[in-house]
Structure 1
């Protein structure tokens, strides 16, 4: 950046990464304009309205280890204790498996003893889980080179994989274990289980994601002098001697810096006219994607599950959430299906019926009832496929005034790279802002 322009940063994209970047920039007193191409902030973490009911475009779980996410919420004035239901780690697959962390013990003993006492596994399977976690800890959760998670789990008993490791992988990486990055999985395990006991807590949102993240962030940005433009797609960029020029619908606008916080498949168009960005474009184009389906079933208000969140096994559905307990939406259940699978071949009505029938085999309360309505939300490109030894674009480009941010952006260290999570997106947004702040 030259001296002609006072710092003015354009953030392109109003998802979690863009919002985090804009919060950090405006907090530092830097003039910031955020451009979002749609009519709503939040990206893939937003609320929607259906049948006069507020839903999410995807049901999310946060973890106590999501330090940057919690920091963003605190900064934006969110009452975290009220907005999130904090539960000690408990993975419950009714009739099959139960793992509860031992909250009276320090980390990592709270998890190791929890594994030793897990219900639904043989002693051999429990010992295999403990040995595996202990060996990972000795290796500092670091692999000499990245491999597929299935390869890393080759010596683990099949039932242990299906009850524990595979559900955790799908929840964290949204990628099948046959191709999922073992190192990215270990990064999540390390952050969740190896440090503070509270890091492994489940944090279940008690409000839709727009209310939880996007709305407070937007309020913070605007109250600190930032500008937010909706329905404002940026079509291309030009590098200037003193900064960057953005092409909006009918005009070009000069800024000192740009943070591109869009989905990776939108990066190509923005960088097309910038020589030397071919490698970034190639990396973005080479990313594959995985879907997430969230299926809402509205039952009569008296219907409730034994607890707010249950796992499912051997079924199309993977996790079921009781939104009555979380959001006060009595009788509303949300079932999540991560990654590709047979469910994609079904019509939405058939999928909803199949999941209702699956739930009836697990929860007797549903045996004599049918849903009043259903809603299937299919995010076809919900996340990038977090596969082994994957090349990810970095934060910096060859243009010092242009940074990338997003859950797909690499840190430069495989030991720090996160899968496509809200935490990964917010970390990346914070880092892009920090890089610009430090450049002054």
Structure 2
């Protein structure tokens, strides 16, 4: 029996997850990607032999992201070589922040909070009491509540050193705009879902070497056709299934951006296309600094942002096995800084770095990158489009309806879910 054909439009993490799963299910897979390289919004820029490979953004995983980890293992990635794994640690430039010890999730959280004497005892007890309330309510809240309102009863130091950094890191949306319900889901899975669930996994490889390249090798070895530099122009329904730019397929998974998916579905499924096209987006900026001989206090350092200090996190890429002396400063929820421009954002980040760290040599701006549509704005009450569009037509992307914000885990889960909905062969 000839295997059924499925077209996957988009080669980001969602598309790669869908392609791997569909191939495992026995489908004949064809993947279309409009860019020169796979990886989508989590990829490396430039060729490996053209100097240090810069990622278009800094992405981390946590121990709870089991779908992402299983995808990486499926395509042959050695997780121990691919990541620096450590318990949740919020190190600041001049002091050690909250650090959770190894052990069962709930016990680790309680022990970590009680041991963190930089916070007054009243603040620690307030957080434990509040978290107990979230636990008893099954980490659910009113759908229109934002994270700032959710955490309003906590002491300011807890909000500033824990809630706000975790919110902007996970949702890429400021706390006063971010969905409390989605934030609670991330907290539940990260802090309370099992041993090691809150561990931070910092990539020791460029993002393309972490997934896109091993996935391409794995897929090609199994007969998957990968078409790069190919933007799908037309999607039409036909008696046997679907036509993608004149090629016939029984099933189609749209793993492209929500904007492109909305265009392709404008006439096929106008209500779905309208919902997908209405999503608002938040940018992320990455400012790369170079300082030979310098080192940060940890591989990942949390920063206090302000009106003139834009970055919330800094990464020492030398400590992660990349390029010694190269540092990535991340500006999440960066709409205001995108408006100021790359040059102004880079200079403000440089001044922030000079004020916060001690440098062996004065740092210089290496490059400033902006991903203007990095994630959808994860706001309260947001109605996200469903996976199913029409019979035989599915959506996969971090923006489709699901429990997670626009994270790598959300993208991978969406890809797996779309492929799991394909009819059995």
Query: Shorter-chain TM-score category?
Result: over 0.9
Partner of 2:287: 295
Indicate whether 1:392 and 2:384 are aligned: yes
Q: Distance in 2 between matches of 1:392 and 1:210?
A: 28
Aligned length: 420
| Equivalent position to 1:170, from 144, 168, 171 | 168
Unaligned runs of 5+ in 2: none
3-state secondary structure, aligned to 2:283: strand
Q: Deviations over 1:246-265 (max 9, x none)?
A: 12xxxx11100000001111
Distance 1:101 1:383, change over 3 A: same
3-state secondary structure, aligned to 1:351: helix
Matched ranges for 1:206-245 at <5 A: 206-245=204-243
Q: Distance in 2 between matches of 1:35 and 1:215?
A: 15
Higher mean Cα deviation, 75-84 or 191-200?
191-200
3-state secondary structure, aligned to 2:378: coil
Shift of 1:216: 1.0
3-state secondary structure, aligned to 2:285: strand
Shift of 1:146: 4.3
Partner of 2:148: 150
Partner of 2:194: 196
Shift of 1:273: 3.0
Partner of 1:310: 301
3-state secondary structure, aligned to 1:365: coil
Q: Is the 8 A contact 2:57 2:285 kept in 1?
A: yes
Shift of 1:160: 1.5
Matched ranges for 1:349-428 at <5 A: 349-365=343-359, 369-371=362-364, 373-397=365-389, 399-411=390-402, 417-428=403-414
Partner of 2:24: 27
Indicate whether 1:64 and 2:71 are aligned: no
Higher mean Cα deviation, 113-122 or 310-319?
113-122
Q: Distance in 2 between matches of 1:172 and 1:116?
A: 24
Q: Distance in 1 between matches of 2:304 and 2:179?
A: 22
Shift of 1:347: 3.9
Return the TM-score normalized by structure 2.
0.95
Q: What do you get for the CA RMSD once the two structures are aligned?
A: 1.7
Indicate whether 1:9 and 2:6 are aligned: yes
Shift of 1:96: 5.5
3-state secondary structure, aligned to 1:217: helix
Q: Distance in 1 between matches of 2:244 and 2:322?
A: 44
Return the TM-score normalized by structure 1.
0.92
Partner of 2:127: 129
| Equivalent position to 1:322, from 301, 316, 322 | 316
Shift of 1:144: 4.8
Distance 1:122 1:342, change over 3 A: farther
Q: Distance in 2 between matches of 1:383 and 1:184?
A: 14
Shift of 1:120: 3.1
